[in-house]
Structure 1
C-alpha cells in the first residue's frame, strides 16, 4: 500500500487535475484556426486572437519608436493631444504613478500617443519634459506621421476622431497589451480605483509571461 498509493495519486492528479492561476481575458475577435494543440495530454482547439498591428510612431526628436516591435515587452497605451488641457492632461497625470512603479522593470513600457500627426516637436518635447523626463527608457511620448483614427478603432478597439472645428474626441481608457500584441485590459480613467487595477494586472501579466516564457539557459 505504501508503494502503490503515491503512484496512484500521481497518475490521478496528472489525468484529472490541472493548475489554475489568475489569467487576464483576451479582448477582440477570436477565430479557430482549424488546428489542435496538445496540452497536458489534452487536445485543445487552436484559437487566433485579435492582434494589434505595429505602426510607425516618432518622438520629439523625430526618431522612430519601437512600438510593439519587441516580443518580450508588455505595453500600456493611451491617447492624448498636446494642447488639450482636459482629458489629455488627466490621462498623462494619472498614469505617472504607475510608470514610477514599473520604471526599473524593462519588460514594461508606456506609450502616450498623440492623435495629431502635425504635432510640433516643441509640443511633444514639452509633454516629455513635463511628465516623462524621469523615465526615458520606460515612458515614450510619440506621434504618428499621418492620421491614425481608423488604425486606433480597428486595432485598439476604442473611439477616436476629429471634429469639424479641429478638436479631437478620443477614449478615456488605458490599454494593456501583452507580448503577443493582444489586448488584455481596458482601464477607464473615470472609474474608481482603475489605476490600482491597472497596476495589479500588469503584475498578473508579468507572471503569465514568465510562465509562458521560461528563462533560456545559454548553451556554451
Structure 2
C-alpha cells in the first residue's frame, strides 16, 4: 500500500462521518472496525480511499451523550483508586448495556455512594447532571450487608434500630434486621459516609465486612469486586 495514497484509518472514519478521530481510536482498539469485511484493531493502521469501512457496533448515534457507570469498590481501595478502574480490562463480562467504551466516558464524572475505606460495594459514577442532583440530594436509600465478629443480641439490635449521632446530627437507620447470628441487613434512608461504622461503634460491635448491595432500585448483583458496568437505559434509581 502506497504511503502517499493511504490515509490513517481514524482520519478516514472521521471523513466518512462515522465518528470523531478520538472515538475512532476507541473503536479500533476494541476490535469494532471492519475494513473490507476484516477486523482491524491496530492503532495507526492506514487504508486506501476506496476501501469499505464499517463499525461493528453501529454508528455513534447509538451511543448516549452521557453515561453512568456502576463500580463494585473493593474493600481497602480509597477514592483515588476508583477512576483507574473504569477501563475496558475491568469491565464486567455480564454488562448488558451494549454500549461501546469511550475514553471520554471518564471525563466530567461525579461519584456517589457512602462506601469508604475498608467498606466495599456499589458506587456510582455519572456524567448525567439530573441523576447527579438526585444522588446528591440523598433521596435514594441504601442497603448494606454487615458481617460481624460476634453474635448480636436482641438488645443491641434494638439499639441499632434507634440510629446514631454523627457529626452532631442524629441519624436513623431505616431498617436493621438480623440475617443470621453474625450478619445484619441495614437499610439507610438518608445514608452518610461513616454511618455504618458509627452505628456499630456506638453499640460495641466490630464488623468483619460491610458491603453496600443496593442504591435505590439498582442492585450490586453479581458484579465482581473491582469491576464495573454501564447503567442500562432500563435501570432507574
Name the TM-score, length of structure 2 as normaliser: 0.28
Determine which structure has the larger strand proportion and give its number: 2
Larger Rg computed on CA atoms? 2
Name the TM-score, length of structure 1 as normaliser: 0.29
